[in-house]
């Protein structure tokens, strides 16, 4: 009664600090008690009297967590109680995906019927077709983005070059950059504002590269709207405008995201956005199947972005995937090979190459001569790796601080768009200042730049600084790899490295669709080349200091320092530059040293973003603070349960009153003390809603029993209706729901005394969403979800 009247101690929180079993306090938890007590009386609860108003029920449905009772969070980096509210809100916005297949009676019936008509062979075959389709469509989208960026950038920079030529040579006093500068500002600010505006106002989830989001999705976290068609459209236009606008970013990350959206869309055979069901691929309408396709899509995206099929597959394996099996290796490889093959065909056709071997597929440019190295260079490569690790760790730290600052001080949407435009303006201004003040003239014919700018140089000379800036970042990386020795001054590259390092740091995190790969490679290539030039300056006799080679090692080191990947990055770099396998060794030395040094200081940029946004992503290993603890320390109790045969109105009320997504199904319940029942299964909120919506009650069983199949539930996937869409039960108030054919009859169960690291491994490996903790009598003791492994 005390509890019902809301007079219990407000400080009793549902979450307990690590190590406390908290049994005595937890028995006072309100929700299950009040639910049971309340429904016993069969009268609808009245707000206020029993404390059910929105303020008293926390966002995740646990009772009595109001403003005055802040829960105690044990989060690695933040412990301040004042942040707990924000943190809680951020955490609860993420739900999990159901990677554990619910093998209920309906599912088993379907499996049996498939066995009878050899359907599973057909399903297997269709699965391959889908992976091939994913490869083709992703590549076509990537090509389209690629070609549009290429054409628009060509137009933009040619116009700027001619504007520079016209204005600077006409003016005899040494040149006037003012007009070209204004044009440059305009041609950067307009596309960037369009891109940032679309991202901010139409689909904010498209901001950034998309890789952290895809990675979280593959780990089992539902990121709202991440794989929608609208997201794909905004992302594609966003990346085109940002790259054409000249921001320090690349198109690779967004293409990976695009691949993931394509995969999620095609594999379902329907579009929820366009309300169109093609009635195909119905067997793949669940999170588990979709996850594998999304992984294939990500691989196809990498493959299309870089023209690197093996790199694409390895990227999925190393960075994106949280679950992996042998079949998947084949399928992702097929998706990425088909993707790069399609890319090849389309680009060959577009560029008019007859034999389907478009050389531009090496999008970081092919090295003409085999890259060789001396054994005494290996320590040097390692040192470059260490430098990359240090610079990468510093970059990640700085970028995170800038983004935290942004989140706090630029919360308004218009502010975000203005910020992106300001950074674009800053980039152009810095570039102009650099071009104006650094006098780096090189004889024509030295640099393979197609349209060299003369600027303040003599006739027969071109400006090497302008050559660095007047093209897309990807083209600049290509130039740094392949420009012959002596193409730049030391000062030019030093200033360029510094400017681009900070510019890319400010850019990543803006509300625009841009990836981090190309700017990172660019900074690395610049300082790698710079190192070679400095060494050559100090030791002019040496012959091994090929600047392109050092630019490549520098790019690898810097990428390793920021992204912390090794195998996939080295393979991607090899595939995009066509270097021989013998050069794999130097690349991997630089990458591994960079990764180890960087890891000493902080996480890779993608993991940092995931952590800063409090995405409940499960790491590979349990967090160290859980060592030695048992399930008792992290479980939540009392548990909101549902009886095997329960009253419709109880279910209806439970779904309204709490936001949990899984409910243990119990029998052998004394009265209404469900939370002490004996476990016989688990049921998901989405299934319960379908049951209520379709009136699958015992009382009218004969009407629905024949036609209800697993498809009834798949039809509403993935946008399950909310409980609000279920009309009040009225005359069905006392109807009964029998869950035996709908529930998952074999939920994973552990004992209260099982160790947390062990149950973490079970949870992680099986991709579970709910783990039930039982006692020796199979009675429910508690429940564990992914959040409990991270925040308790």
Residues making contact with Mg ion (CB under 5 A): 95
Going by C-beta distance under 8 Å and a sequence separation of 6 or more, which residues neighbour residue 576? 306, 307, 308, 311, 362, 363, 364
CB of 783 to ligand ATP, least distance (A): 5
Contact call for residues 335 and 132 (beta carbons, < 8 A): yes
- Given candidates 50, 52, 63, 95, which one binds ligand ATP under the rule CB under 6 A? 95
Neighbours of 778 (CB within 10 A): 14
291 binds, among ligand ATP, Mg ion, none (CB under 5 to 8 A by kind): none
Nearer to ligand ATP, 13 or 399 (CB): 13
Q: How many residues bind ligand ATP (CB under 6 A)?
A: 20
Query: What is the helix (H) or strand (E) element at residue 670, kind and residue range?
Result: none
Peptide bond into 718 cis (omega under 30): yes
Segments in 275-364 forming alpha helices (H): 287-306, 309-315, 326-351
Shortest Å, Cβ 637 to ligand ATP: 7
Which residues, at least 6 apart from 526, have a Cβ–Cβ distance to it below 8 Å? 480, 493, 496, 497, 500, 551, 554
**Binding segment (CB under 6 A) for ligand ATP, from list 244-252, 302-310, 415-423, 777-785:** 777-785
- N residues, the chain: 792
Taking the least distance from each CB to ligand ATP, the nearer of 62 and 400 is 62
Beta bridge partners of 779: 678
The Cα 8–Cα 162 span in angstroms is: 77
Q: Does 639 bind ligand ATP (CB under 6 A)?
A: yes
Q: How far is the CB of 59 from ligand ATP (least distance, A)?
A: 9
CA distance 446 to 132: 44
357-386 core/surface letters (b: 16 or more CB in 10 A; e: else): ebebbbbbbbbeeebebeeebeebbbebbb
The string of DSSP codes covering 431-445 is HHHHHHH---EEETT
607 binds, among Mg ion, ligand ATP, none (CB under 5 to 8 A by kind): none
Q: Which of 16, 34, 56, 60 binds ligand ATP (CB under 6 A)?
A: 60
Pick between residue 149 and residue 635 the one whose CB is nearest to ligand ATP.
Answer: 635
* In the complex, least distance from residue 788 CB atom to ligand ATP, rounded to whole angstroms: 5
Binding mask 407-446 for ligand ATP (x = CB under 6 A): ----------------------------------------
State the nearest-atom distance from the C-beta of 14 to ligand ATP, in Å. Answer: 7
Q: How far is CA 284 from CA 89, 289, 408, 711, 741, in A?
A: 32, 5, 41, 11, 21
- Told to check if 662 binds ligand ATP by CB under 6 A, we report yes
Is residue 662 a contact partner of residue 652, using CB atoms and an 8 Å limit? no
Run of H or E including 450: none
Distance CA 608, CA 566 (A): 17
Radius of gyration of the chain (CA): 29
Residue 646 engages ligand ATP in binding (rule: CB under 6 A)? no
Q: Among 484-492, 536-544, 620-628, 653-661, which window interacts with ligand ATP (CB under 6 A)?
A: 653-661
Q: Applying CB under 6 A, does 661 fall inside the site for ligand ATP?
A: yes
Residue 121 CB, shortest distance to Mg ion, in Å, is 38
Q: Is 595 in the site for ligand ATP (CB under 6 A)?
A: no
Does 659 contact ligand ATP by CB under 6 A? yes
* Contacted entry of Mg ion, ligand ATP, none for residue 788, CB cut-off 5 to 8 Å set by kind: ligand ATP
| Of residues 102 and 639, the one with the C-beta less far from ligand ATP | 639
Is residue 787 part of the contact set for ligand ATP (CB under 6 A)?
yes
Interface pick for ligand ATP out of 663, 760, 763, 789 (rule CB under 6 A): 663
Query: Is the CB of 163 or the CB of 785 nearer to ligand ATP?
Result: 785
Considering CB distances under 5 to 8 angstroms, the limit depending on partner class, which of Mg ion, ligand ATP, none binds residue 476? none
Least distance from ligand ATP to the Cβ atom of residue 319, Å: 23
Q: Which of 65, 291, 595, 769 binds ligand ATP (CB under 6 A)?
A: 769
Please, which residue, 65 or 127, has the CB nearer to ligand ATP?
Answer: 65
Residue 500: its H or E element: helix 490-507
Distance between CA atoms of residues 373 and 378, nearest Å: 8
Q: Which does 138 bind (CB under 5 to 8 A by kind): ligand ATP, Mg ion, none?
A: none
787 binds, among Mg ion, ligand ATP, none (CB under 5 to 8 A by kind): ligand ATP
Least distance in angstroms from the C-beta of 626 to ligand ATP: 14
Stretch that binds ligand ATP, among 58-66, 177-185, 310-318, 773-781 (CB under 6 A): 58-66
Is the CB of 71 or the CB of 388 nearer to ligand ATP?
A: 71
| Pairing, β 642-643 against β 662-667 | parallel
| Residues β-bridged to residue 665 | 642, 681
Applying CB under 6 A, does 61 fall inside the site for ligand ATP? Answer: yes
The entry of Mg ion, ligand ATP, none near residue 783 (CB within 5 to 8 angstroms by kind) is ligand ATP
When CB distances are held under 5 to 8 angstroms depending on the partner's kind, the choice from ligand ATP, Mg ion, none that residue 662 binds is: ligand ATP
Per CB under 6 A, 783 contacts ligand ATP:
yes
Query: 68-98 burial, b if ≥16 CB within 10 A, otherwise e?
Result: eebbbbbbeeeeeeeebeebbeebbebbbbb
Cβ-contact 243, 472 below 8 angstroms: yes
Q: Are 512 and 206 in contact (CB under 8 A)?
A: no
Residues of this chain that interact with ligand ATP (CB under 6 A) are: 60-62, 95-96, 636, 639-640, 659-663, 769, 783-788
């Amino acid at each position: 009664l005390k509890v019902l009247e809301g007079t219990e101690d407000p400080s009793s929180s549902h979450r307990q600090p690590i190590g406390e079993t908290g049994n005595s306090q937890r028995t006072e938890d309100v929700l299950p008690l009040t639910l049971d007590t309340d429904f016993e009386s069969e009268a609808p609860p009245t707000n206020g009297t029993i404390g059910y108003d929105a303020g008293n029920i926390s966002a995740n449905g646990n009772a009595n967590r109001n403003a005055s009772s802040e829960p105690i969070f044990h989060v690695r980096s933040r412990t301040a109680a004042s942040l707990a509210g924000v943190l809680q809100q951020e955490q609860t916005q993420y739900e999990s995906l159901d990677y554990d297949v619910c093998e209920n009676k309906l599912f088993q019936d379907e499996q049996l019927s498939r066995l009878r008509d050899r359907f599973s062979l057909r399903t297997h075959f269709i699965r391959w077709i889908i992976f091939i389709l994913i490869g083709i469509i992703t590549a076509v989208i990537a090509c389209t983005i690629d070609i549009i960026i290429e054409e628009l950038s060509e137009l933009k920079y040619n116009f700027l070059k001619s504007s520079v030529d016209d204005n600077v040579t006409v003016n005899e006093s040494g040149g006037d950059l003012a007009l070209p500068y204004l044009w440059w500002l305009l041609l950067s600010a307009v596309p960037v504002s369009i891109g940032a505006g679309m991202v901010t106002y139409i689909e904010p989830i498209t901001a950034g590269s998309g890789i952290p989001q895809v990675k979280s999705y593959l780990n089992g976290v539902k990121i709202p709207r991440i794989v929608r068609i609208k997201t794909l459209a905004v992302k594609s236009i966003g990346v085109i405008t940002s790259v054409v606008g000249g921001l320090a970013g690349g198109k690779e990350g967004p293409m990976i995201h695009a691949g993931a959206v394509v995969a999620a869309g095609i594999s379902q055979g329907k579009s929820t956005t366009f309300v169109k069901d093609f009635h195909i691929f119905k067997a793949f309408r669940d999170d588990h199947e979709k996850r594998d396709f999304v992984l294939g899509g990500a691989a196809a995206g990498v493959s299309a972005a870089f023209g690197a099929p093996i790199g694409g597959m390895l990227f999925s394996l190393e960075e994106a995937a949280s679950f992996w099996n042998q079949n998947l290796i084949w399928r992702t490889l097929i998706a990425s090979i088909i993707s790069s093959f399609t890319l090849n065909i389309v680009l060959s056709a577009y560029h008019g190459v007859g034999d389907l071997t478009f050389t531009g597929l090496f999008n970081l440019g092919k090295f003409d001569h085999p890259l060789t190295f001396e054994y005494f260079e290996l320590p040097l490569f390692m040192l470059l790796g260490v430098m990359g690790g240090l610079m990468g760790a510093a970059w990640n730290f700085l970028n995170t601080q800038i983004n935290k600052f942004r989140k706090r001080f630029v919360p308004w949407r218009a502010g975000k768009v203005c910020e992106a435009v300001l950074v674009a303006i800053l980039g152009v201004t810095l570039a102009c200042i650099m071009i104006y003040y650094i006098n780096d003239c090189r004889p024509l014919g030295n640099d393979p730049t197609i349209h060299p700018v003369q600027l303040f140089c003599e006739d027969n000379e071109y400006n090497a600084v302008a050559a660095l800036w007047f093209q897309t970042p990807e083209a600049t990386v290509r130039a740094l790899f392949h420009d012959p020795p002596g193409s730049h001054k030391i000062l030019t590259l030093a200033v360029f490295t510094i400017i681009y390092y900070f510019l890319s740091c400010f850019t990543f995190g803006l509300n625009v669709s841009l990836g981090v790969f190309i700017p990172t490679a660019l900074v690395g290539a610049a300082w790698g080349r710079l190192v070679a030039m400095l060494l050559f300056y100090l030791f002019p006799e040496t012959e091994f200091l090929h600047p392109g080679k050092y630019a490549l090692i520098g790019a690898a080191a810097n990428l390793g320092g920021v992204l912390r990947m090794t195998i996939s990055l080295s393979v991607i770099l090899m595939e995009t530059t066509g270097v021989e396998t013998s050069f794999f060794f130097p690349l991997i030395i630089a990458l591994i040293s960079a990764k180890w040094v960087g890891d000493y200081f902080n996480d890779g940029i993608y993991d940092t973003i995931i952590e800063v946004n409090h995405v409940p992503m499960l790491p590979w290993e349990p967090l160290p603070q859980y060592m030695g603890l048992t399930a008792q320390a992290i479980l939540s109790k009392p548990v909101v349960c549902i009886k095997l045969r329960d009253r419709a109105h109880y279910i209806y009320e439970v779904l309204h009153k709490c936001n949990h997504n899984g409910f243990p199904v119990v029998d052998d319940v004394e009265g209404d003390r469900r939370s002490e029942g004996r476990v016989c299964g688990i049921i998901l909120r989405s299934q319960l809603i379908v049951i209520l919506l379709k009136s699958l009650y015992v009382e009218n069983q004969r009407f629905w029993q024949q036609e209800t199949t697993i498809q009834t539930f798949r039809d509403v996937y993935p946008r399950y209706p909310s409980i609000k869409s279920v009309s009040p039960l009225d005359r069905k108030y006392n109807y009964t729901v029998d869950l035996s054919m709908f529930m998952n009859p074999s939920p994973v169960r552990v004992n209260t005394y099982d160790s947390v690291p062990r149950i973490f491994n079970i949870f992680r490996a099986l991709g579970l969403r709910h783990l039930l903790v039982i006692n020796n009598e199979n009675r429910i003791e508690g429940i564990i979800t992914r959040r409990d492994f991270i925040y308790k």
